[in-house]
Amino acid sequence: MTDHDGLYHQLYSHPQMMADLVRQFVNEPWVADLDLDRMEPVKSKFHVPGLPKRESDVIWRIPLRSGADVYLLCMLEFQSEPDRWMILRVLVYMCLLWLQLIHEKKIPSSGPLPPLFPVVLHNGDSPWLTPVRVKDLIGLPEGSPLWHYQPDGQFFLIDEGRFPKADLEKRDSLSSLVFMVEQCASPEALPALAEAIITWLTDHPEFAELRQVMAVMLVNAMTSLGVDQPALANDSINLLEVPTMLQTRMEAWKNQWKNQKEKEWRQEWHQEWHQEWHQEGAASFFLHQLQRRFGTLSESIIQKVRAADQSTLEMWGDRILDARSLDEIFLD
């Protein structure tokens, strides 16, 4: 399957998807000034003379309704632990983007630098608790004259894990559904999520080309939750078939889980059996288990058990796990 980072790169290289993310999760008053319908992708490979080649994640040029442009630099962060030095990486990419625009003569020699809006989309196991501002990393006391010479800046953090499910369910947004898939902790919830994604994409045909990406993301989610993926190539996954496929895989997973638990249960039973065999005798232990399962035993049953050899007791002991009556245990 496509790697996780690659799936996100495909999602947010789609203009409507990036606009959806900004409208839904960037709660800033100036967002209303962004003409998101006219945003254009910017190449993310930086090759500035004298500097090594670097590649960012996703960059968009967005016209402002009031004039000029803003460049949205979206960095996708999928490490399980937040990166304390992320703001330094962000600053490097910001400077590289400005230098690239200057090198390509997209900025007049006498003109100002265009504003940049760096966004970090975090999808890690731990919440982001590390600094988002350069200032919080610099070891200077307040009031030091050296602050005048320190770089400033911060990034806007979208931490997927901090949005409650109830909040995401209220949003008419494909990004919120993506976040719900990422937050999903139970395989049983995936088929319903797949149905919700299909319904949303049906209602928003302008996102149709993302159907394949969402299908792969749902199937990959099964593996992360411990359910084996079907042996399919990426281009053979039909989103409309995903709910049924997930349900089928879920049933197989449940049966596998049940069989594994039953195997573990039987192993524990035999281990306990042999421990009790030495401590109080197999017949006495088996009688105790029969009483726990079926209540008071007749004298004939007690005598039958006490007269049995070890192999017979072990055979009956296996039956007690599944038997619905005493007759099923002692059936020849």
The phi and psi torsions of 144 (rounded to 5 degrees) equal -65, 135
Strands 156-159 and 116-122: parallel
pLDDT of amino acid 190: 81
Rg of the chain's alpha carbons, rounded to an integer? 31
Stated pTM of the model: 0.68
Say which residues have a Cβ less than 8 Å from residue 18's Cβ, sequence separation at least 6.
12, 36, 39, 58, 60, 72, 74
Residue 174 to residues 85, 119, 203, 211, Cα–Cα distance (Å): 30, 18, 11, 11
Q: Which residues in the chain land under pLDDT 70?
A: 1-3, 47-56, 226-280, 321, 332
76 contacts 37 by C-beta, under 8 angstroms: no
> Strands, E, within the chain: which ranges?
40-42, 45-46, 54-55, 58-63, 69-77, 116-122, 156-159
Q: How far apart are CA 268 and CA 276, in angstroms?
A: 12
Helix axes 242-280 and 190-203, enclosed angle (nearest 10): 170
Give the per-residue pLDDT at 257. Answer: 47
Cβ partners under 8 Å of residue 81, min gap 6? 124, 125, 126
Residue 302: its pLDDT value, please? Answer: 86
- Which residues, at least 6 apart from 6, have a Cβ–Cβ distance to it below 8 Å? none
Rounded distance, CA 50 to CA 43, Å?
A: 19
- Number of CB atoms found within 10 A of residue 129's CB: 8
pLDDT at 1: 39
In whole angstroms, give the CA distance from residue 219 to residue 239: 10
pLDDT at 239: 59
* Predicted pLDDT of residue 140: 92
